[in-house]
Amino acid sequence: MKLLLLPVLLPVVFALAALVTPAAWRRAREALSILAVAINLACAIALFKADAVFQMPWLGFGMEFKLRIYQFSGFILLAAAFFAACVCVYSLSFMREKPAHKQFYSYLLITLGLTSGAVLADNLILMLFFWEGLLLTLFGMIAIGNKSAFKTATKAFIIVGISDLCLMAGIGLTGYLAGTLNISQISLPITKLGGIAFILLMIGAIAKAGAMPFHSWIPDAANDAPLPFMAFLPASLEKLLGIYFLARISLDMFKLNPASSLSMLLMVIGCVTILLAVMMALIQKDYKRLLSYHAISQVGYMILGIGTCVPAGIIGGLFHMINHALYKSCLFLTGGSVEKQAGTTNLEKLGGLGLKMPVTFICFIIAAASISGVPPFNGFFSKELVYDGALERGVIFYLAALVGSFLTAASFLKLGHAAFLGKISSENNNVKESSWPMLAPMVTIAGVCVLFGLYNRLPLETLIQPVLGAEKLGGHVFYGMPSNVMLIVMTIVVLIAALINHVIGVKIGGSGLKAVDHIHYSPVLIGVYDRAEKRMFDPYDIGLKLAVAGSQALWRVDRAIDWVYDGLIVKVAHFSSLRLRQFQSGYYAVYVFWAILASVAAVIFLLKQ
């Protein structure tokens, strides 16, 4: 089925066309981009129910050019197309006066094409080809941000690039163990080598999704990169891709079971990511940076859910993936709306924008309620499923997830209060609502958040449950209200606690922004926070220091070998030539003596023969 090539090639071709347009042809470029995402969306919708394979000869050694669409990849393809369309429309207004207009649209479209390719690929090498190719546009899209953006771009490239090398090694190992690289034919047990292969593949997947410890470029990118990038990649596409692949490896390629220690590893990574990232999110004083830490924290729920290896958890993790892509991209888009209209995302300079920008505010409320898990929005249902799965595996995981929810809710109460409520500053008195190209995507996405919450049967029945298949579901259905009443009660208790905490915090601190200061400046945490803010825990910086230290040692090895050539050999040659020179004294008698000695030696040697 050749149509499968379209979502891969079409955006790339349009991107190249956009790249060669003269700088002044802004409208032509916008039209091209809109056309590309529209055709791509139409194509994704048309392919959604398809079940087909496209194959052509490629490289041999099991490296086949094979694209496959089936229920799961069709779902991710559609979601990616949807977010690309939203971000593209949004950028019409947001990117209008920005520099690097041309690069932005080209990179966006190439990203879309490569993502589609990675989703559709049914061969691990082909997938890696598209997957790792995303590094280039990741680098490019961050680098076109502000002046210091290239440092962040490099950081992102190095972190993701190194994890992609792990993925490459994992693919090599998987291919060796399975004897094939075709994803749909791989079915491996978790043995010792298989476990290593799984971990390497997992590193690639969770690093793409932005889990700890591969996260630290995301908050920096929030400061430096153009905002639509944040809504497009870290918020939606990378989550979709990373979690999609994580689900594929743990459900299809490897049969991960609850008894496995790898399941435990995933759950621990999930919980640690949830807690640490949300702790950092809590104290941020910048709209975008705060959101970026949540983009990390929420991945934890997805990994936890999939790591539980029980149906409720897996369904919850996957449902959370799509929900997160929705509400987080919506949140970033509201952030962009604020940035565009108020000129800043620094929460200290914001406040009281709710009345000036009512549509943005309403979208924010819906998305913030979703991420905090307030019923009946979509995030509530997916979190309940993850809780359900986590509780089945151990109370500790459930509690970690619950504490994460508390802190998430607290930080969004703070964010909403600081940005949209409270007193408006004099500079912001003339702020107006954004134009329709920015509002339309926000409203659309917020609408889907409500839909997926109120009518969660739709996404669960058509998108999520088929991923697991009827056999593993065992007749369960996961839509409708959560079955475990205790979980709902606990969630509501936590939400109310967050609200009370907020009210108390505002009383103590005096403003919405300072609502969590009593946590931030509490005795033990203050020291930890201080160090974290100074980047002392950044795995990237630590890793770089280690790499440089190791390289210094290796360099000394190299210098030592060089010394053998430039020092030792020269000295030895010099020394021996000096010694030999002493024999050349110029005295006739001495030479005769040597000649006789040599003759005697020669005679003895010959006689002995």
Partner 1 sequence: MTNQNLILSAVFIPLCLAFALPFIGKLRQNARNVFALLLALAAFACSTALLPAVLKGDIINVFKALQLGFNFSFIADPLAVFMAIVSSFISAVIILYSFGYISHYKNQNEYYLMVVLFLGAMMGLVFSANLIFLYIFWEITAITSWRLIGFFREKQHVLRADKAFMVTVFGALLMLVGFIRLGQEMGSYDLFVIKDAISIHPVSNVTIALILAGIFSKSATLPFQTWLPDAGVAPSPVTALLHAAVLVKIGVYVFARIFVATIPLTQFWHAAVPMAAGISALVAAGAALVETDLKRIIAYSTISQIGFIFLGLSMGSELGFAGGLLYILMHGLAKAGLFLCAGIVEQNTRTKDITKLGGLITAMPVTAISFLFCAFSVMGIPPFGGFFAKYMVIAATLGGRHFIIAAIFIIGAFLTILYLFRAFNMVFLGQVKTSAPGEKEPVMVFSVALLAVLSLAGGIFIRYPNEIAQLSCAGLPGIFK
Instruction: List residues near partner 1 by CB under 8 A.
Output: 57-61, 125, 128-130, 132-133, 135-136, 150-151, 154, 157-158, 161-162, 165-166, 168-169, 171-173, 175-176, 544, 547-548, 550-555, 557-558, 561-562, 564-566
The reply to whether omega before 482 is within 30° of 0 (cis) is no
Closer to partner 1 by CB, 168 or 231: give it: 168
Query: Sign of the C-alpha dihedral, residues 29, 31, 75, 48?
Result: negative
Shortest reach from residue 201's CB to partner 1, in Å: 13
Give helix 149-178 / helix 217-224 axis angle, nearest 10°: 140
Residue 142: count other Cβ atoms within 10 Å of its Cβ: 27
Shortest reach from residue 499's CB to partner 1, in Å: 46
Closer to partner 1 by CB, 161 or 509: give it: 161
Closer to partner 1 by CB, 526 or 547: give it: 547
Shortest reach from residue 363's CB to partner 1, in Å: 37
Closer to partner 1 by CB, 133 or 512: give it: 133
Shortest reach from residue 560's CB to partner 1, in Å: 10
Q: Please, which residues have CB within 8 angstroms of residue 272's CB and are 6 or more apart in sequence?
A: 212, 300
Angle at Cα 307 formed by Cα 301 and Cα 312, nearest 5°?
Answer: 75
Shortest reach from residue 54's CB to partner 1, in Å: 16
Closer to partner 1 by CB, 533 or 566: give it: 566
Q: How many alpha carbons lie under 13 Å from residue 389 in its C-beta half-sphere?
A: 31
Shortest reach from residue 237's CB to partner 1, in Å: 17
Q: Please, which residues have CB within 8 angstroms of residue 172's CB and are 6 or more apart in sequence?
A: none
Tokens of 501: 């905490």
Closer to partner 1 by CB, 203 or 438: give it: 203
Backbone torsions φ then ψ of 544, nearest 5 degrees: -65, -40
Q: Please, which residues have CB within 8 angstroms of residue 556's CB and are 6 or more apart in sequence?
A: none
For the stretch 466-471, contacts whose Cβ atoms lie closer than 8 Å and that sit 24 or more positions apart, written own/partner, are 466/71, 466/72, 467/71, 467/72, 467/75, 467/247, 467/251, 467/318, 468/251, 468/311, 468/314, 468/315
Question: Smallest Cα–Cα separation from 306: which of 314, 298, 315?
Answer: 314
Shortest reach from residue 109's CB to partner 1, in Å: 15
Closer to partner 1 by CB, 133 or 307: give it: 133
The reply to whether omega before 234 is within 30° of 0 (cis) is no
Shortest reach from residue 535's CB to partner 1, in Å: 18
Residue whose pair of structure tokens reads 């609408």 in the numeric block: 447
Q: How far apart are CA 42 and CA 183, in angstroms?
A: 27
Shortest reach from residue 126's CB to partner 1, in Å: 10
Closer to partner 1 by CB, 503 or 554: give it: 554
Q: How far apart are CA 509 and CA 105, in angstroms?
A: 43
Closer to partner 1 by CB, 552 or 582: give it: 552
Tokens of 90: 């949004």
Beta pairing, strands 52-60 & 63-69 = antiparallel
The answer to whether 122 and 53 have CB atoms below 8 angstroms apart is yes
Shortest reach from residue 154's CB to partner 1, in Å: 5
Closer to partner 1 by CB, 157 or 232: give it: 157
DSSP notation for 187-214: -B---HHHHHHHHHHHHHHHHHHT-TTS
